[in-house]
Structure 1
Amino acid sequence: MRVIPLCVVLGGWLSMPAFAADAGADSWLQRLVKAEEQQSYFGTFVYERNGSFSSHSVWQLVQDGAVRERLLQLDGPAAEVVLKGGQVACATEELASQVSDAQPWRRQQLDPAQLSESYDLHMIGESRVAGRPTVAIVVSPKDQHRYGFELHLDKETSLPLKSLMLSESGQLLERFQFTQFSSGPVQPSDIEAGQDCEPVAISSSSEAKSEAPKWRSEWLPAGFRLLDSNVRPSPASSEPVAWLSYGDGLARFSVFLEPLRGAVVEDARSQMGPTVAVSKRITTADGDVMVTVVGEIPLGTAERVALSMRAGSDQASQ
């Protein structure tokens, strides 16, 4: 089932006539790709998932080709994270366990040509976000193995001021929306970390072996490709854990495989907003292995991927 547009999900509060040419959506996404690495800005936004809201301030400074970002969580205890060149430089204790390479306010770089393999792109009209005129684009999945999005891009900067992630039934899974946004110069002092922002250690090559895990997925949803993989120590045992990361240009999920060596564990599945975690025991010639799939994909898709994992290095062909 195709994603239901925002005007339906939220009761039609936006009345947006459809544009005839989908080429316009491609053009705007191309602008977005360039704008993310070229624009300095400051803003405040709200982030919603699983019925919970949080509010944040964010600064981005682009200077001499380098991108630096700072995020402050405004609800509850003060929480902060600073990124330099896309890498986490420091974080307060409250955010240290949450930071990753896929922040809610900054998604992976988009490639319209790659996205067109798995999604339909449509411009659906104009709206206003944070008092600024925007264009609205629907990114609809071509199958049931990924979620859809609605993006509202600032007309002046092409940056996303609002993003909605929607299930196949039109259920809102995640919302990111600026309430205040200002483009233009940002002072270097605005990016400086506070005294409670502690350096975040980056895993060294000795902690994650460079050789590829001897595992493959026998089945992948169309459009998903292997992005990265390694073997890393388990935080709970002495057994090495194989890790594989897959993406389709928009959605991502990770697969973790750990030998059980006789340990008794149960299959499990959970979902919080768009993020699912599915654990399945599979039997191999070398003994039972626990496969865990984590990512922003439907539960049924995660379960099918988990059960498709096999020993070997050749990935499933599309």
Structure 2
Amino acid sequence: MRVIPLFVVLGGWLSMPAFAAEADVLMQRLAAAEKKQSYQGTFVYERNGSFSSHAVWQLADEQQLRERLLQLDGPAAEVVLLNGKIQCATEDMASQVREITPWRQQLEPDVLSKWYDFQVIGESRVAGRPTVALAIRPRDQHRYGFELHLDRETYLPLKSLLLDESGQLLERFQFTHFAPGSAAPSDLKGGADCKPVSLAAEQKEATSTKWRSDWLPDGFQLIDSDVRSSPASKESVTWLSYGDGIARVSVFIEPLGGAVVEDARSQMGPTVAVSKRISTADGDVMVTVVGEVPLGTAERIALSMRSGAGQATQ
């Protein structure tokens, strides 16, 4: 059940500056806390009507941050990370890490405040612990908003709700048990099925491409890019990743080589996929945009892709 911002009705406009100031402080504390806390716990993840449960351990010291994530439903699946780099993972688990840990990237509240409003909306309890509820609302229609319930002791998010333009729930991340300061080195060791992952592959530098976007939502910038061969067609597929510090989208561009394909669009929970056929001097290509943004935003990004130098960041 969502926290109802009763203070808007009861407190009146005179309370708004104080709440805004507290919201800014909470965002700063969240940004500082994420990679400096040791803890263990269990959480549930809800998306598109399906649920999964997970155990998580994090051990932080001055030199490194160790993390382990273990899926508790169905076949055992886990991943172990060191300073954000995957050390070992069971099959298919590595690709799921970002989906069920939405606050992995380093937050920069001063920058994010250009694209989002922060607002305290009340007090709550999550996993038996007192929390403060914080709304992160987009300033435009090109991205989604969040509702975070931050632990009063550690300022880590014990619950995160991803909301669409009308405030409807798209995704839920919520701890059912949270114990700060209790992770031990032995907890961070992966099981027998956790297979090593090459650090060289994880640290691969971005590959420059000839593709750019003529339009991006305010605050979105190019984060990463690569060019790879498609296993099916043997053509070179371009991949570009864009983000604003919270929201991210991936763009895939593949030459069609005369193939007849139709435009497509779909949405599963918060994730949308939009494919558009675009004509270029070198032939038609299929541009596919995948990410957690509104469908209209994904379509506009797809139609804005151009072949040439100079990346738009407006």
Common fold: TM-score over 0.5: yes
Identity of counterpart residues, as a percentage?
67
Q: State whether structure 2 residue 28 is matched by structure 1 residue 30.
A: yes
Residues 21-64 of structure 1, C-alpha deviations (whole Å, 9 max, x = no match): 21211111111111111100000000001011111100001134
CA contact (8 A) 1:209 1:232 kept: no
CA contact (8 A) 1:208 1:233 kept: no
CA RMSD of aligned residues (A): 2.4
Q: 2:216 aligns with which of 203, 220, 232?
A: 220
> Which amino acid is the alignment partner of residue 220 of structure 1?
L
Residues 108-134 of structure 1, C-alpha deviations (whole Å, 9 max, x = no match): 111111111111110112111111111
CA contact (8 A) 2:271 2:292 kept: yes
Following superposition, the deviation at residue 304 of structure 1 comes to 0.9
Following superposition, the deviation at residue 238 of structure 1 comes to 1.6
Residue 82 (structure 1) aligns with = 80
Q: 1:174 aligns with which of 166, 171, 175?
A: 171
1:183–1:17 distance in 2 versus 1, CA, 3 Å: farther
Residues 212-247 of structure 1, C-alpha deviations (whole Å, 9 max, x = no match): 111111111112111222222223332111111111
TM-score by length of 2: 0.91
Q: Which residues of 2 match residues 1-318 of structure 1 at below 5 A?
A: 6-8=2-4, 20=16, 21=18, 22-100=20-98, 103-104=100-101, 106-201=103-198, 204=201, 210-318=206-314
> Which amino acid is the alignment partner of residue 281 of structure 1?
R
CA contact (8 A) 2:3 2:122 kept: no
> Which amino acid is the alignment partner of residue 110 of structure 1?
L
1:209–1:227 distance in 2 versus 1, CA, 3 Å: closer
Residues 244-269 of structure 1, C-alpha deviations (whole Å, 9 max, x = no match): 11111110101111111112222221
Q: How many residues align?
A: 308
> Which amino acid is the alignment partner of residue 300 of structure 1?
G
Following superposition, the deviation at residue 195 of structure 1 comes to 0.4
Aligned-partner SS, 1:26:
helix
1:282–1:203 distance in 2 versus 1, CA, 3 Å: farther
> Which amino acid is the alignment partner of residue 239 of structure 1?
E
Q: Distance in 2 between matches of 1:201 and 1:243?
A: 21
Between stretches 228-237 and 73-82, larger displacement belongs to 228-237
Unmatched tracts of structure 2, length 5 or more: none
Residues 276-304 of structure 1, C-alpha deviations (whole Å, 9 max, x = no match): 11111100000001111111001111011
Following superposition, the deviation at residue 170 of structure 1 comes to 1.1
CA contact (8 A) 1:267 1:280 kept: yes
Aligned-partner SS, 1:113:
helix
Q: Distance in 1 between matches of 2:291 and 2:143?
A: 10
Aligned-partner SS, 2:171:
strand
Between stretches 225-234 and 34-43, larger displacement belongs to 225-234
Q: Which structure has more helix as a fraction of its residues?
A: 2
1:176–1:219 distance in 2 versus 1, CA, 3 Å: same
1:209–1:44 distance in 2 versus 1, CA, 3 Å: closer
Aligned-partner SS, 2:96:
coil
Q: Distance in 2 between matches of 1:177 and 1:17?
A: 29
CA contact (8 A) 1:60 1:69 kept: yes
Unmatched tracts of structure 1, length 5 or more: none
Following superposition, the deviation at residue 313 of structure 1 comes to 2.2
1:283–1:188 distance in 2 versus 1, CA, 3 Å: same
Q: Distance in 1 between matches of 2:145 and 2:199?
A: 32
